[in-house]
Amino acid sequence: MTDQPVPAIETEGLVKRFGTTRAVDGIDLTVRTGTVYGVLGPNGAGKTTTIRMLATLLRPDAGTARVLGHDVVAQADAVRSAVSLTGQFASVDEELSGRENLVLLGRLLGFSRGPAEERAGELLDAFGLAEAADRLVSTYSGGMRRRLDIAASIVVTPELLFLDEPTTGLDPRSRNQVWEIIRILVAAGTTALLTTQHLDEADQLADRIAIIDHGKVIAEGTSGELKASVGAGSLRVRLRDPEQRPAAARLLDQVLGEPAQLESDPAALSSRVSDPQQVATALAELTGAGFAVTEFALGQPSLDEVFLALTGHPAEPTPEEDAA
Amino acid sequence: MTTTTETDPVLAEATLRAALSTRARPHRPSGLAASAAFGWRAMLKIKHVPMQLFDVTAFPIMFVLLYTYLFGGALADSPREYLQRLLPGILVMTVSWITMYTGMALNTDISKGVFDRFRSLPIWRPAVLVGMLMADAARYTMASVVIITVGVALGFRPDGGPLGVVLAVALLLVFSFSLSWIWTAIGLRMKTPESVMQVSMTVLFPLTFASDVFVDSSTMPGWVQAFVDVNPITLLAGASRGLMHGSVDGSDIGWVLAWSAALVAVFAPLAMRLYNTER
C-alpha cells in the first residue's frame, strides 16, 4: 500500500450536518489519479455536499479529506490551486459575456490582460462558442452555458476537476458533447470526480462508481460489478392485446421467478431478469402460449432498480429521514 | 469515418485537445491584481446594464433639488444662500445613502453559482469584496460629480476652489469605502436584499438625519446635540464644508479618518468572517 502514488481524493469518515440532518454521514472514498470517479445517487443523497467539502467550500464536521495529498481544511489554498469546480447550476456569470467570463478567470488565475484574452479566445474556439462569445451569458442555451462552465474550469488545466451533475437539464445532443469533452479532458491527464443521478452517465464515463444514499456509500465498484449486484436488467414486453396482460404477467412470473410489473401503458409489462439467457426462454414461452408480442426490450438496470435492490426504497428524492 | 457516436461539429476536437495541452500555470496574482479583476467585473456589469447607475444619478439630483427648495426659504434667507451651507452636507448624506446599495448588490450577487467558483480559486480571499468596493468608489465619484454639477448650476460657489472640492470628495470616498464594509457584512449575513435594505435604512436614517447637514447643532436639545456632534456624518459634513469653502478644521478631518479606520477595523474582518462562512 505504501508504494501507491498519492490518490487524487482520499476521504475517511467524512461528515457534514445541516441542523439535525446528516447530509454526509461518514463517507470513505479513494479516487486514483487519472481516472473518472462517478458518485451516483438521488437528489439529496449528499453528492453536492461532498463535492463542496472537497472543493474547500464547506468545512467537514468530522472525518478527513485529502485532495492530491493536501488536507481540505488545513491546506485549503493548496487544494484550491489544483482543482476546478463546475457546479450543478452553471457557475458562470450571467451578467457578463462568455468572453468576459473567461478573461476574468484568466486574470484571477494570474494571467495578465493579453494572455488572458488569448486564452479566452482559444477556449471559445475549442468549445464552439466563438460566435456567441460577446453575447451575455443570460442569452445562452443550457448546453452553451455548460460548455462555457467547463471552459471556465480549464482556463488553467486543473489536476482534478469536480463536475457536479454536468448534464442535468441538457438535451441529448448537448449531453453527448459534454461527455465528449470530459473524455478528452481525462485523456489529457485530468482526474475527474463526477456526480450524477443517471446510471448510464456513470456507466459511460466513470472507471469506478460509488452509490450514495442518505449521506452514506451503499455500494462501490466498477459499473460491471454494480450491475452484476442487481441482476442483468429488465425485460419489457408489449402485447398486441391489453386484455391478455394479466395472463402474460402470470406466465412471466413463473418463467423468470420475479414478479412482473404492470406498466402505465396498458399493454406493457416488465420484469427483472437475473440471467439474460432467461429472456429467450420467456419470449418463446409467451409466443408459444399464444400471446402476440409486438415489442420487447432488454434494458440495463436503471438507477431505480439499483436503489431498490440495494436499499429497499426507490431512488426518488426522499423526504428528510426521521431518526437515523 | 467511424460509426461511433458523432463528435458534434460544434466541438472542434483538435482545437480542444490543443487548448488542453498542459502549459505553465501563471503565478498567482497579487491581492491588488485580483481585487482589480473583480473591480473590472463590476464595471462590466454597469456597461451591460447602465440602469444600475440610476441610484448615482437621478437619486442625487432629486436630493439636491428637494432639500434646496424645500428648506432653503425657511432655514436661510434664500435657497441660493442655503445651498452654500447645504451642498457639501447633502453630498455627504447622499453618497452615504448610496453606499447601502453595496450590501444589496452583494446579497443578490453572492447567491449566484459563480461565487462558488470564486471561492474555490486560490486568490487573496478579501479580493472579491475589495474589488466590489473599489468599483463602488467609482460609482460614488460619479454621484459626487452629479451633485456638485447640479449644485453649481443652482448657484453653489465654493470659496476653496476646485482643489478644495476635490479634497472634499476624496475624503468622502475614504469614508464611504469604510462605511461600505458595514453593508458588506450585512449583505453577507442577511437572506434577502429586502432585509438588507431594512437593516441599512434603520442605521442610515438616524445616522444621516441626526447630523448638522440641514441645520446647525446649536439649535437642538442637549441630548440630541451630544449625538449629533460625534456623528461621523456631522464631522464629515463639517470637514467637507471646510474644504470646499477654504476654512477647514483639521480636527474634523482627523476624526473622519479615525472613524473610517475604526469602521474598517471592525467590519472588514467581520465581513471576511461571514464571507468565509459557508452558506
Q: For A3-43, how does the pLDDT look when each residue is reduced to its tens digit (9 = 90+)?
A: 568 899 999 999 999 888 889 999 999 999 999 999 998 88
For the residues B150-158, what does the mean pLDDT come to? 92
Instruction: Say if the Cβ atoms of A57 and B278 lie within 8 Å.
Output: yes
Residues A143-176, buried b or exposed e (16+ Cβ, 10 A)? bbbbbbbbbbbbbbbbbbbbbbbbbbebeeebbb
Domain holding B184, by residue range, is 30-276
Chain A residues lying within 8 Å of B38, measured CB to CB: 108
> Taking 80 as the threshold, does the pLDDT of residue B15 lie above it?
no
Is B76 domain-assigned? yes
Q: What pLDDT does residue A228 have?
A: 73
Min CA distance, A93 vs chain B (Å)? 6
**ipTM beyond cut 0.90:** no
A104 with B41: Cβ contact below 8 A: yes
pLDDT digits (tens, 9 = 90+) for B257-275: 999 999 999 999 999 999 8
Please state the rounded mean pLDDT for residues A86-110.
90
Within a domain: residue B7? no
Strand partners, A153: none
Residue B6 pLDDT grade (very low, low, confident, very high; cuts 50, 70, 90): very low
pLDDT at B3 over 80: no
What pLDDT, on a 0 to 100 scale, did the predictor assign at position B1?
41
Q: Which residues of A182-193 are buried (b: 16+ CB within 10 A; e: fewer)?
A: bebbbeeebbbb
| pLDDT of res. B21 | 64
Q: Considering only residues A56 and B13, tell me which one the structure prediction assigns the higher pLDDT.
A: A56
Say whether residue B12 is in contact with chain A using an 8 A CB cutoff.
yes
Of A134-148, A175-189, B14-28, B154-168, which range is least confident?
B14-28
Whether B230 is in a domain gets the answer: yes
Q: What pLDDT does A324 receive? A: 34
Half-sphere exposure of A243 (CA within 13 A, CB side): 2
The full length of chain B comes to 279
Nearest to B170 by CA among B213, B199, B209, B141: B141
> Who contacts B251 (Cβ-Cβ below 8 Å, separation ≥6)?
none
Distance CA A42, CA A63 (A): 23
pLDDT of residue B278: 63
Residues B25, A110: C-beta atoms closer than 8 Å: yes
> How far is B229 from chain A, CA to nearest CA, in Å?
43
Is CATH 1.10.10.10 the classification given to domain A9-95+136-228? no
**Is CATH 3.30.70.2030 the right assignment for the domain spanning A231-300?**
yes
Boundaries of every domain in chain A? 9-95+136-228, 231-300
pLDDT value at residue B2: 39
What percent of chain A lies above the pLDDT cut of 90? Answer: 45
Confidence of residue A319 (pLDDT cuts 50, 70, 90): very low
pLDDT at A173: 87
Q: What is the dihedral of CA B183, B187, B192, B194, to 10 degrees?
A: 10
Instruction: Report if residue B271 sits inside a domain.
Output: yes
Partners of residue A34 in chain B, C-beta under 8 Å: none
In the chain, the amino acid numbered B228 is V
Domain count of chain B? Answer: 1
d(CA B145, CA B147): 6
Q: Does B273 touch chain A (CB under 8 A)?
A: no
Which residues of chain B neighbour A185 with C-beta distances below 8 Å?
20
Q: For all residues of chain A together, what is the average pLDDT?
A: 86
What's the confidence (pLDDT) of residue A53? Answer: 93
With beta carbons under 8 A apart, name residues in chain A contacting B113: 87-92
Confidence class of residue B4 from pLDDT cuts 50, 70 and 90? Answer: very low
Q: How far apart are CA A262 and CA B170, in angstroms?
A: 76
Q: Residue A301 — very low, low, confident or very high, per pLDDT cuts 50/70/90?
A: low
Buried-state track B102-135, b at ≥16 Cβ within 10 A, e below 16:
bbbbbbebbebbbbbbbbbbbbbbbbbbbbbbbb
Asked if pLDDT for residue A71 goes beyond 90, the answer is yes
Judging by DSSP bridges, how do beta strands A83-86 and A160-164 pair with one another? parallel
pLDDT at A322: 37
Residue the block writes with cell 436503471:
A302
pLDDT of residue A276: 73
> pLDDT by residue (tens digit) across B64-84?
888 888 887 777 778 888 889
Domain membership of residue B14 (yes or no) is no
Confidence at residue B279, expressed as pLDDT on a 0 to 100 scale: 57
pLDDT confidence band for A314 (50 / 70 / 90): low
- Segment A196-253, tens digit of pLDDT: 988 888 888 999 999 998 999 998 998 878 877 776 677 888 999 899 899 999 988 8
Q: What is the mean pLDDT of residues A159-164?
A: 93
